[in-house]
Each structure stands twice: as structure tokens, then as C-alpha cells.
């Protein structure tokens, strides 16, 4: 009988039980092309580091943020390496939630683009290593612009962008003058609108942390945005974000798109895009200032302070964000497929320059973004398309919902900004800023 | 004239039934069609109906994900959770159906009311409990959670089936000296077997489709097929064709299972409907 009990218990344990083993790294990441490629190439890391095996957990972006936040605050220890963004890295690093990253001379830390390195550091210490980075820029159909008798300078103004959008817009033919993010979310429409507002002279908070959403600059920017999309945007813009617009652009239904530089590699790829040979690039438009007109973002790898395998985890981060890894991707898939936006050496490489038609525009956009000086008037926060404070996520979501409602025509711009100001004010008071 | 009207009514009803079935099946059909397209075809406007099908997305899913491991986790947690819930629900439903008291109705309503609590409301306590018990990313925690979240519905269903059994039969068993255990096992369960099986089938389907807890409590080892499907959503890049392929692969086992069990399912759900 005891034998039977032991067998049953053993079988149940075998079926139900699982346990993390030493030397096994669990890495949380999002599902995008560069990350998937990293998963495929992991065997190279495992071969070079016998005794370490890597398990991947791929999560939807929102779920990833929630899971890694839960894991890190409860010291759950489920993940040894986490994919986080430029918003989380300095906040979590300063709180001691992440391990400081120090690599050997081979890593060539000075080769990392200064904006990326700075944005992922806190108090001068690097807390996350950039895996790929991006800014924002204009991507447009040069055939449509030429056919309309227009030109697109390298550094256009918002007024010129509106003129081009009007000239190339053909709503009846299903080709829209301009496509922009409208879906609510702090990483969706709020991110884009923040860069636009920065350029119109607006800021999120004054020096005393008072929200500034009721300022004339915000009103001017949001009114311009709503008018532009209402007149020359696709129907249902308030539901569009990166993927929705990517689908429209690749189908040849957007004349112009201002969004993440990473999109350039998709829309210029003939396997994905019907207009791959007809796209060109320019820097994000400016209104009254160039400061903060284009965003800065990086998906980066970090090691949570709660992991029991910090040494192995750092080894992996060092490998995945190294110059050698970029060369490995180039050898495997070609220079057009390497993760960009992280290292100067990538942009200096003639093979990359030849393979990526967007290389110069992307580098110029990344180099011109400065998270510590992103508004016309002084602010107490850093960040271009966000304010790097824990409360921003909730504020950004609330504001994004109001902006989306204004775009959908459910409320006026004035009403939306007044409601956004109230929401931001409430959140900041609750957090004790004043 | 009346006979002619009757003759017409049958094809009309049949046609309406087919139309309704098509409308219900259409999302699944579209998902299967999309899984056979390229990403560019998947986003095409107007949508493509005629195209050259490709199995590339299925190959890619097999290359990228350990489908079998996720499928095994789904099977173990769905069947395990259902078994635990049924074992707990039978005595509970028996007590309330056969030996009901003043508060039986209130207890049943209270049990059902727990289903009204949004899952995210108890995420942190459950997460912390699982962490303290060392059960994060294990099938055990999913079996426990699945059993608990389906328990109210299972108790309700079994309660209604048990109530259909004439008390006289149970009393006769008692007069013959049957203990409570024997009364349940040898009299009650055989009489309500169809209902119990259909309840179990429904619970298995609910467990199979559960996503919230699977995504939040598992990492690399105990993830179920719903977690696998969720992982194919991409923040930057087209993913509809790949997502459709992995969704088709995730739905397939439970659809086949449901197909084979449909007779029992309908039998059980209509159990006691006609006296």
C-alpha cells in the first residue's frame, strides 16, 4: 500500500511539479522581430557557456510590464533577465530593483550611443543594456509627394507637413494624406502627442510639478493634430496605433506616417510592404522648437535584483547587447536585419549603410533626441515622450483617453484638455508632489 | 394547402439553422483562413478570400514554440482542475440538494456571487500566496485555481441534477442500510451520470480557455496554450497570420474533443428537461 502511495505521489509530483534549476535562465521578453531572432540565436550563447540554458517567456507588451513589475516588487524571482524600456530603467535602477551592469573592456561600453546609455542609467550607473533603440521620424511616399508637385525637406515644419498631407490626400481613392497614432495609451497616442506638444512649446509639468495641460501650447498642438487627422487621416484614426498604421502603410494607403524609426525596416522590406521601393524619410517636424520633436526609446535587457543567478544573467545580457552579437545577426541574416539604434559602430559599418536605406535618417533622429532637454521651457523631469516618474503611466493613460475622445469627436479639444488637466492634477496631488 | 405550408417550413427552418451555424462558425473559419495567408495577405483590404495557401505560419510556430509542452500543460491543468472541482462539488451539491436547509439558497447565491469578483481584484493576494508556497510557474497552482474558479458553477449544475433524483430512491437506499458514501456512489452518481459528465465537459472547456491566471502565474514551465497564443501579439510588427496559426493549433484539440463528446454534452445539458 505504501509502495502504491509513493508511486502515486511520485507520479502526481512528476505531472504537476516543475522547478527552476540552477544554470537555467528565464528571460521575459516581447514578441517582435529582433527579440525572436535573439531566441533563435541563443544556442550560440549556450554553446559558449556550457552549463547555462536559456528559457524564454514571450509576453504581450502590456502583460510584460505588469508581470515584470509584479515580479520585481514582490521579489517573485520568476525572471532572471527582463526586457524593459527606457521609462522603467532609470526609475527601477534608482530604487535598487535592478542590478548595476558593469562589463569588461571587450564590451566597448563607449560604443553605445550616448542618448541610449544616458536614458538607461540612473546616478551615472547603467542599469539596462540597450538591445535595440529607436527615435521617431517621418516616413513618406516619395512617388505621391513628387506627383503632387511637392517636396519634403530633411527637417520640415508642421505647417509644411500639413500642406503635403493636403496635397497627396485622396480619400475617395483610399490613400490618406497622413496617418498618426490615435489609440489611447501612454505608449500609444500619448507618446506621439507628447513629441508634437514639445515641439509646439508645451511641457507636461512646470518646475513645481504643476501639470500644464491647460496651457495654450498644448491646445495649439492638440487642435493641430485633431484637424490634421480629421481632414487628411484615415477613418477611425482614434483606434490606430503602430501596427494598424503599419498595415495601412504597407498596403499603400498612407501617404505619410510619423512614428518609430523601427518602422522603416518594415515598410522598406518588399516581403512585407507593397510600397517598399517608394518610401523616403525625413526628420520629425518642428513647430516652434526642435526640442523634444522626436522621441527616444530603447528595448533593453536588465537583471532584477531578486535573481539568484545574477552572474549568468549578466553574461547573457553582455552577449545579447554586444558588438559581436550584431555581427552574428549580420552573418546569419544579413546587415539589413541587425538590431539598430544602440551602437555607433553599427552606423559606421559600410555593409550596414549599404543594406539599410534608412540608416542616416535613423541615426540623425536618435542623436538629436535629448531626454534631459526636451522642452522649450524648463522642467523638473527627464524623458522626451514621457516624464520619467512612476506616476506618469497612470497620467499618460488618462490623458491619452481624453485625446482619443477629442479625435473621435466625442468631446472638444478644450474639454479633453480640461479633463486631462484635472486627471493629472489629481494624480500628482495624490502622490504628494504639492 | 396546410401540408404544402408544412413542406415549405422545413427547408426554411433548415436554411435558418445553417445560416445561424455559419454565422457562429465564421470567426473560426476566418481564423483558419488567415492562418494560411502571408502577413501581407492577412492585412489586405478588401480581405482576400481567394489566395494561394501556405503552411509557413504553422512551420514557424513549430520552430519558435514548444507547442507540445504547452498542449500537455493545458490537458493536465484542464483535466486536473476539473477532477478536483468535481470531487469537491459532489458532496457539496449532495448536501444542499438532499439535506437542504433554510440557508441553502443563500449559500448557493453566495457561491455564485464569487464569480462576479473581477479576477484582477485578487491577483496580488493569489500571486503572493503562490509565491510563498513556491508554486509560481507550476501546474499545481493552475489546477488549484481552475478548480476554485469553476467550483461555483459546477456546484450549481450538480445541485440541479441531484434535485431531479426522487428522494424516495435515496431513502430506500438508506432503509437498506447504505451509508452516505454508498448512497452517493452507488445510487446518486449512477442516476445523474449524464449530468456529471456534461458538467465535467463544460468545466474542461472553461479551464482550457482560461487565460488570465495562466498568463499571470506561469513563466517558462507551466504555460498553457492560452499563454502561448497571447505571446504571439507583437507591439511592433505584423502578426495576424502567425497569431491565427497558433490560435488554430490551440483550438484544434478542444474542438475535436467537443466534437466527440457533443452527444454527452447535449444529453447532460438537457438532463431532466422533460419529465
Please write the tens of the pLDDT for every residue from A168-214: 999 999 999 999 999 999 989 999 999 999 999 999 999 999 999 99
Which carries the bigger pLDDT value, residue B49 or residue A211?
A211
Please write the tens of the pLDDT for every residue from A305-338: 989 899 999 999 999 999 999 999 999 988 988 9
* Cell representation of residue A148: 503632387
CB of A390 less than 8 A from some CB of B: no
CB of A257 less than 8 A from some CB of B: no
What value does the mean pLDDT take over residues A67-88? Answer: 88
DSSP character at residue A234: P
Largest CA distance in chain B: 75
Q: Are A216 and A394 in contact (CB under 8 A)?
A: no
What value does the mean pLDDT take over residues B158-163? Answer: 93
DSSP character at residue B119: G
Residue given cell 496617418 in the structure block = A179
Tell me the chain A residues in contact with residue B57 when contact means C-beta distances shorter than 8 Å: none
CB of A70 less than 8 A from some CB of B: yes
Angle at A252 between CA A247 and CA A255, to 5 degrees: 105
- Closest residue by Cα to residue A65 from B264, B215, B237: B215
- Domains defined for chain B, CATH in brackets: 1-65+232-249 (no CATH), 66-224 (1.10.3720.10)
- CB contact under 8 Å between A78 and B137, yes or no, is yes
Reported ipTM exceeds the 0.85 cut: no
Task: For chain A, give every domain's residue range.
Answer: 21-127+296-355, 136-294+382-430
Q: Are B228 and B242 in contact (CB under 8 A)?
A: no
Q: Are A222 and A420 in contact (CB under 8 A)?
A: no
Cα of A144 to nearest chain B Cα, Å: 20
Inter-chain contacts counted by CB atoms under 8 A, chains A and B: 112
- CB contact under 8 Å between B233 and A66, yes or no, is no
Please write the tens of the pLDDT for every residue from A354-396: 998 899 999 999 999 998 899 999 999 999 999 999 899 999 9
CB of A269 less than 8 A from some CB of B: no
Report the distance separating Cα A345 and Cα A396, nearest Å. Answer: 35
- Residue among B43, B220, B230, B243 with most chain A CBs within 10 A, to mutate: B220
CB of A263 less than 8 A from some CB of B: yes
Classify the phi-psi angles of A175: left when phi > 0, otherwise alpha if psi is within -120 to 50, otherwise beta.
beta
- CB contact under 8 Å between B234 and A243, yes or no, is yes
Entry pTM: 0.82
- CB contact under 8 Å between A57 and B220, yes or no, is yes
Report the distance separating Cα A274 and Cα A263, nearest Å. Answer: 14
Residue given cell 463528446 in the structure block = B261
The whole-number pLDDT of residue A22 equals 57
Q: Give the dihedral sign, CA A167/A269/A28/A117.
A: negative
pLDDT range class, residue B275, cuts 50, 70, 90 = very low
* Cell representation of residue A366: 536618435
* In the predicted structure, residue A4 carries a pLDDT above the cut 50: no
**Nearest by CB to A26, which of B219, B231, B237?**
B219
Burial per residue of B84-119, b for 16 or more beta-carbon CB atoms within 10 angstroms, e otherwise: bbbeebbebbbbbbbeeeeeeeeebeebeeeeeeee
Residue given cell 560604443 in the structure block = A111
Report the distance separating Cα A198 and Cα A201, nearest Å. Answer: 5
Helix (H) or strand (E) holding A58: strand A53-59
Report the distance separating Cα B189 and Cα A25, nearest Å. Answer: 48
Which of residues 158 through 197 in chain B touch A, CB cutoff 8 A? none
How distant, in Å, are the alpha carbons of A293, B122, B123, B240 from that of B223?
41, 20, 17, 21
Tell me the backbone φ, ψ of residue B60, rounded to 5 degrees: -65, -40
How distant, in Å, are the alpha carbons of A239, A341, B206 from that of A135?
22, 8, 43
- Residue A417, Cβ density class (10 Å: 0-12 exposed, 13-18 middle, ≥19 buried): buried
Please write the tens of the pLDDT for every residue from B244-273: 999 999 999 888 888 888 777 777 666 654
Is the domain spanning A136-294+382-430 CATH 3.40.190.10? The answer is: yes
Beta-strand pair A129-141/A296-302: antiparallel
pLDDT range class, residue A411, cuts 50, 70, 90 = very high
Please write the tens of the pLDDT for every residue from B110-153: 988 888 889 989 998 999 999 999 999 999 999 999 999 999 99
Beta bridge partners of B28: none
* Cell representation of residue A328: 552574428
Class of domain A21-127+296-355: alpha beta
- Closest residue by Cα to residue A132 from A271, A242, A281, A264: A264
pLDDT range class, residue A14, cuts 50, 70, 90 = very low
Cα of B140 to nearest chain A Cα, Å: 5
DSSP character at residue A268: T
Report the distance separating Cα B211 and Cα B70, nearest Å. Answer: 13
CB of B137 less than 8 A from some CB of A: yes
Residue given cell 516581403 in the structure block = A271
pLDDT range class, residue A68, cuts 50, 70, 90 = confident
Q: Are A229 and A172 in contact (CB under 8 A)?
A: no
The whole-number pLDDT of residue A31 equals 85
Burial per residue of A80-103, b for 16 or more beta-carbon CB atoms within 10 angstroms, e otherwise: bbbbbbbbbbbbbbeeebbbebeb
- Half-sphere exposure in the Cβ direction for B122 (13 Å, CA): 13
**Nearest by CB to A250, which of B40, B223, B232?**
B40
- CB contact under 8 Å between B238 and A59, yes or no, is no
* In the predicted structure, residue A20 carries a pLDDT above the cut 50: no
Q: Which residue of A has its CA nearest to B231?
A: A59
Q: Are A53 and A24 in contact (CB under 8 A)?
A: yes
What value does the mean pLDDT take over residues A271-291? Answer: 94
- CB contact under 8 Å between B128 and A74, yes or no, is yes
Cα of B41 to nearest chain A Cα, Å: 9
Q: Are B124 and B130 in contact (CB under 8 A)?
A: no
Q: Which residue of B has its CA nearest to A273?
A: B40
Across all residues in chain B, what is the average pLDDT? 89
Which carries the bigger pLDDT value, residue A381 or residue B44?
A381
* Cell representation of residue A187: 505608449
* In the predicted structure, residue B274 carries a pLDDT above the cut 80: no
Report the distance separating Cα B264 and Cα B194, nearest Å. Answer: 7
Residue given cell 538629436 in the structure block = A368
Cα of B216 to nearest chain A Cα, Å: 7
Same CATH fold assignment for domains A21-127+296-355 and A136-294+382-430:
yes
- Residue among B84, B147, B219, B221 with most chain A CBs within 10 A, to mutate: B219
Amino acid at each position: 500500500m505504501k509502495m502504491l502511495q509513493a508511486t502515486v505521489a511520485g507520479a502526481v509530483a512528476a505531472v504537476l511539479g516543475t522547478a527552476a534549476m540552477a544554470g537555467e535562465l528565464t528571460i521575459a521578453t516581447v514578441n517582435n522581430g529582433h527579440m525572436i531572432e535573439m531566441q533563435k540565436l541563443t544556442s550560440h550563447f549556450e554553446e559558449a557557456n556550457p552549463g547555462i540554458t536559456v528559457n524564454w517567456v514571450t509576453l504581450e507588451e502590456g502583460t510584460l510590464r505588469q508581470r515584470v513589475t509584479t515580479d520585481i516588487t514582490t521579489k517573485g524571482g520568476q525572471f532572471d533577465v527582463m526586457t524593459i524600456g527606457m521609462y522603467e530603467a532609470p526609475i527601477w535602477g534608482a530604487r535598487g530593483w535592478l542590478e548595476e551592469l558593469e562589463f569588461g573592456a571587450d564590451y566597448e561600453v563607449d560604443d553605445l550611443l550616448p542618448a541610449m546609455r544616458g536614458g538607461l542609467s540612473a546616478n551615472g550607473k547603467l542599469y539596462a543594456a540597450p538591445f535595440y533603440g529607436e527615435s521617431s521620424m517621418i516616413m513618406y511616399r516619395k512617388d505621391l509627394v513628387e506627383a503632387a508637385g511637392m517636396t519634403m525637406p530633411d527637417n520640415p515644419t508642421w505647417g509644411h507637413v500639413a500642406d503635403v498631407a493636403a496635397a497627396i490626400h485622396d480619400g475617395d481613392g483610399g490613400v490618406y494624406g497622413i496617418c498618426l497614432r490615435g489609440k489611447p495609451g501612454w505608449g500609444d497616442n500619448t507618446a506621439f502627442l507628447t513629441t508634437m506638444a514639445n515641439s509646439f512649446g508645451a511641457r507636461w509639468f512646470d518646475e513645481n510639478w504643476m501639470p500644464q495641460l491647460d496651457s495654450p501650447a498644448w491646445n495649439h498642438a492638440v487642435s493641430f493634430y485633431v484637424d490634421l487627422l480629421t481632414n487628411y487621416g484615415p477613418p477611425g484614426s482614434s483606434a490606430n496605433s503602430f501596427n494598424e498604421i503599419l498595415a495601412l502603410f504597407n498596403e499603400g494607403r498612407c501617404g505619410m506616417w510619423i512614428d518609430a524609426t523601427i518602422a522603416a525596416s518594415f515598410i522598406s522590406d518588399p516581403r512585407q510592404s507593397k510600397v517598399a521601393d517608394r518610401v523616403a524619410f525625413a526628420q520629425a517636424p518642428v513647430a516652434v522648437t526642435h526640442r523634444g520633436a522626436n522621441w527616444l526609446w530603447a528595448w533593453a535587457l536588465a537583471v532584477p535584483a531578486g535573481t539568484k543567478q545574477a552572474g549568468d544573467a549578466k553574461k547573457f545580457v553582455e552577449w545579447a547587447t554586444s558588438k559581436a552579437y550584431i555581427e552574428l545577426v549580420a552573418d546569419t541574416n544579413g546587415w539589413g536585419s541587425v538590431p539598430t539604434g544602440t551602437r555607433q559602430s553599427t552606423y559606421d559599418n559600410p555593409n550596414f549603410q549599404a543594406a539599410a536605406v534608412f540608416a542616416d535618417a535613423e541615426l540623425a533622429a536618435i542623436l538629436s533626441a535629448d531626454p534631459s532637454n526636451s522642452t522649450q521651457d524648463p522642467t523638473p523631469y527627464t524623458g522626451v515622450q514621457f516624464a520619467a516618474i512612476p506616476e506618469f503611466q497612470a497620467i499618460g493613460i488618462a490623458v491619452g483617453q481624453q485625446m482619443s475622445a477629442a479625435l473621435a469627436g466625442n468631446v472638444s479639444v478644450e474639454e479633453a484638455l480640461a479633463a486631462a488637466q484635472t486627471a493629472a492634477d489629481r494624480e500628482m496631488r495624490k502622490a504628494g508632489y504639492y | 394547402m396546410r401540408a404544402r405550408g408544412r413542406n415549405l417550413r422545413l427547408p426554411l427552418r433548415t436554411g435558418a439553422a445553417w445560416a445561424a451555424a455559419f454565422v457562429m462558425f465564421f470567426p473560426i473559419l476566418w481564423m483558419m483562413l488567415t492562418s494560411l495567408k502571408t502577413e501581407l495577405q492577412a492585412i489586405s483590404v478588401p480581405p482576400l478570400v481567394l489566395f494561394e495557401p501556405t503552411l509557413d505560419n504553422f512551420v514557424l510556430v513549430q520552430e519558435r514554440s514548444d507547442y507540445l509542452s504547452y498542449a500537455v500543460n493545458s490537458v493536465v491543468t484542464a483535466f486536473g482542475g476539473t477532477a478536483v472541482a468535481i470531487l469537491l462539488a459532489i458532496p457539496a451539491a449532495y448536501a444542499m440538494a438532499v439535506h437542504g436547509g433554510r440557508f441553502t439558497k443563500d449559500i448557493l447565491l453566495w457561491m455564485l456571487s464569487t464569480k462576479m469578483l473581477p479576477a484582477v481584484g485578487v491577483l496580488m493576494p493569489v500571486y503572493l500566496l503562490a509565491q510563498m508556497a513556491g508554486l509560481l510557474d507550476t501546474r499545481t497552482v493552475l489546477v488549484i485555481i481552475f478548480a476554485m474558479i469553476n467550483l461555483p458553477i459546477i456546484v450549481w449544475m450538480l445541485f440541479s441534477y441531484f434535485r431531479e433524483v426522487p428522494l424516495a430512491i435515496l431513502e430506500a437506499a438508506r432503509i437498506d442500510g447504505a451509508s452516505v458514501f454508498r448512497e452517493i456512489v452507488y445510487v446518486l452518481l449512477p442516476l445523474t451520470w449524464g449530468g456529471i459528465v456534461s458538467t465535467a465537459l463544460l468545466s474542461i472547456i472553461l479551464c482550457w480557455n482560461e487565460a488570465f491566471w495562466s498568463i499571470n502565474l506561469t513563466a517558462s514551465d507551466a504555460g498553457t496554450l492560452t499563454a502561448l497564443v497571447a505571446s504571439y501579439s507583437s507591439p511592433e510588427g505584423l502578426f495576424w497570420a502567425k497569431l491565427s496559426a497558433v490560435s488554430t493549433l490551440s483550438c484544434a484539440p478542444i474542438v475535436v474533443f467537443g466534437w466527440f463528446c457533443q452527444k454527452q454534452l447535449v444529453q447532460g445539458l438537457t438532463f431532466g428537461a422533460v419529465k
